[in-house]
Amino acid sequence: MSAPLPGVTFKTATVNNIHMRYAEIGSGPLVLFCHGWPESWYSWRHQIMALSAAGYRCVAPDMRGYGGTEAPEPIEHYTLHHLVGDMAELVKALGESKAVIVGHDWGAPVAWHAALWRPDLFPAVCAMSVPYAAPGYVDALTALEKLGINDFYLQYFQKPGVAEAELQADIRSALRRIYFTAGGDMDDKGKGFARLTSGTLLANTVDPPALPAWLSEADLDYYTREFSRTGFRGGLNWYRNLRRNWELGGPWRGQPIRQPSLFIAGSRDGVLRFPASKATMEAFPRTLPGLVGSHIIDGAGHWVQQERPAEVNRLLVAFLKRLPA
């Protein structure tokens, strides 16, 4: 089945006990793309076209709980162990023995942990927006509580059904507001996703008078169709495993990722203003000894690979070209 991009095809594999849909284009060394929330394989549309033209086999799955991929009911089936397991088995289902893994937003922790846990399968890693933090000694929710914070969006997402109801009341409007507010075009300093001072997610967003240049009406239509079909439950369940991920991460506390790595983010990405982000990035020489580059793209927001595709593609291709054959 054809995807809504020339030359891209949809395929399905059974991996890690779920059916997974993925978009594929190109031939050559495998590059695996992991999207974040609330997105789909489509958020990598610019990268898979550019990298396939540069000589790579590009595979961008709908991650567990999204799009054409299965969304198991149990919340505990969305841990990082499940998500990394999906990617490891997808590499094998594709008939490959290794892949460079690329992730953005929630896909970044998946990519980082895939590189940490399976260096045999993932000899290089690129992550965007979310810097690598070695499994630590306090989980994110407990850390927020210790800071006296109880209105962070991560906390709002914890109770099943609450965020789903808000977002699914008007899916196109919700996505439009989320994409604009987290992007680099939004100038209202009082809005965003860290502290939800109004009590709900969308009350702390801005509805733009027009879409930003990087997001067309057709792009928004595609995302809206996908979430109208699936709802938001699967993706939100990733957030509901933050403590469980911390508990399961015990054997790797403090461990670095040693293989070649690349980090890319936008200078206006709200994630870089999270309480621990500055210290996390300052620790890169210790936590990412194989780091090839850490690039902050001026003026870009959270959706960096969609907002600044040419710059991101240039960095990705240069990173891939310098890796051993």
* 156 and 200 Cβ atoms separated by less than 8 Å: yes
* 144 and 242 Cβ atoms separated by less than 8 Å: no
DSSP conformation class of 8: -
Mean pLDDT by 10-residue block, N- to C-terminus, for the chain (325 residues)?
85 98 98 98 98 98 98 98 98 98 98 98 98 88 92 95 98 98 84 84 94 97 97 98 95 96 96 89 97 97 98 98 90
Cβ atoms < 10 Å from Cβ of 197: 11
Q: What is the pLDDT of residues 102-130, one digit of tens each?
A: 999 999 999 999 999 999 999 999 999 99
Catalytic residue among 86, 105, 185, 269, which? 105
Give the phi and the psi of residue 21 in degrees, each rounded to 5.
Answer: -90, 140
Q: Where are the domains of the chain?
A: 9-321
Closest CA to 46 of 293, 181, 214: 214
In the CATH scheme, what architecture does the domain 9-321 have? 3-Layer(aba) Sandwich (3.40)
Q: Is residue 132 annotated as part of the catalytic site, yes or no?
A: no
Peptide bond into 289 cis (omega under 30): no
Catalytic residue among 22, 56, 156, 239, which? 239
What's the pLDDT at 190? Answer: 66
* Size of the chain, expressed as the number of residues it contains: 325
Helix (H) or strand (E) holding 227: helix 217-230
Q: pTM to 2 decimals?
A: 0.97
Residue ranges with strand state E in the chain: 9-15, 18-25, 30-34, 57-61, 100-104, 124-128, 261-266, 291-297
User: What is the spatial distance between Cα 314 and Cα 94, in angstroms, rounded to a whole number?
Assistant: 26
Q: What is the pLDDT of residues 221-276, one digit of tens each?
A: 999 999 999 999 999 999 999 999 999 999 999 999 999 999 999 999 999 988 78
What's the pLDDT at 189? Answer: 66
Q: Is residue 35 annotated as part of the catalytic site, yes or no?
A: no
